Amino acid sequence: MASDNKPKAVDPAFTKSVVDAGADTVTLCFQCGTCTGSCPSGRVTAFRTRVMMRRVQLGFKDDVLPSDELWLCTTCASCDERCPRGVKITDIIMTLRNMAVREGYMAEAHKNTARSLMKTGHAIPLGDAFRKLRETLGLDGEPPTVLTDKEGLEEIKKIVKATGFDKLVG
């Protein structure tokens, strides 16, 4: 899934497909770099928000959809708040992730989160420490969610199958 620095083929249809998917503000980016300077993920990883926007503008599909960087955004929206061009960066990244998943790319950590959701109804599993903490507060160890509602969990599983989400996750 990792990308390298070798130039890939330009695919103008890719830019159009991103715009058509509702992420049209990507065309407004004028490469000031404010988003990159605001990005907490970029401080500790190779993810560069500005570069991601430019790759989309130029149609570098093969640098975007299979890339590990696409999954390093925490969706904190700091970039959205500061972008002087009103580029909806977080929405664009979510759109790109949706496209990536449809092409068979998804970060393992995100797959695990999705698997937890499909299995338990919760994206984040309830650990023993939280179970014990709840009990010390006089609460049931299991919260009154799908963890204790079998019918609710079955409904989630039906939705997962009906939407094909399980196949996307693999």
Under the criterion CB under 6 A, does residue 15 sit at the interface with ligand SF4?
no
Tokens of 101: 């998943």
Of the pair 78, 146, the CB lying nearest ligand SF4 is at 78
Report how many residues bind ligand SF4 under the rule CB under 6 A.
26
Nearest approach in angstroms of CB 107 to ligand SF4 is: 14
Contact of 160 with 118, CB cutoff 8 Å: yes
**φ, ψ at 137 (rounded to 5°):** -90, 5
Under the criterion CB under 6 A, does residue 46 sit at the interface with ligand SF4?
no
Of the pair 52, 160, the CB lying nearest ligand SF4 is at 52
Q: What is d(CA 96, CA 155) in angstroms, rounded to the nearest whole number?
A: 28
Cα-based distances in Å from 114 to 61, 67, 170: 25, 19, 10
* Single residue of 18, 70, 79, 118 touching ligand SF4 by CB under 6 A: 79
Long-range contacts of 66-69 (CB under 8 A, 24+ apart): 66/1, 66/2, 66/3, 66/100, 66/103, 66/105, 67/1, 67/2, 67/3, 68/1, 68/2, 68/3, 68/107, 69/3, 69/45
Of the pair 88, 146, the CB lying nearest ligand SF4 is at 88
Under the criterion CB under 6 A, does residue 134 sit at the interface with ligand SF4?
no
Under the criterion CB under 6 A, does residue 64 sit at the interface with ligand SF4?
no
Under the criterion CB under 6 A, does residue 39 sit at the interface with ligand SF4?
yes
Nearest approach in angstroms of CB 54 to ligand SF4 is: 8
Residues near ligand SF4, by CB under 6 A: 29-35, 38-41, 49-50, 53, 73-79, 83, 85, 87, 89-90
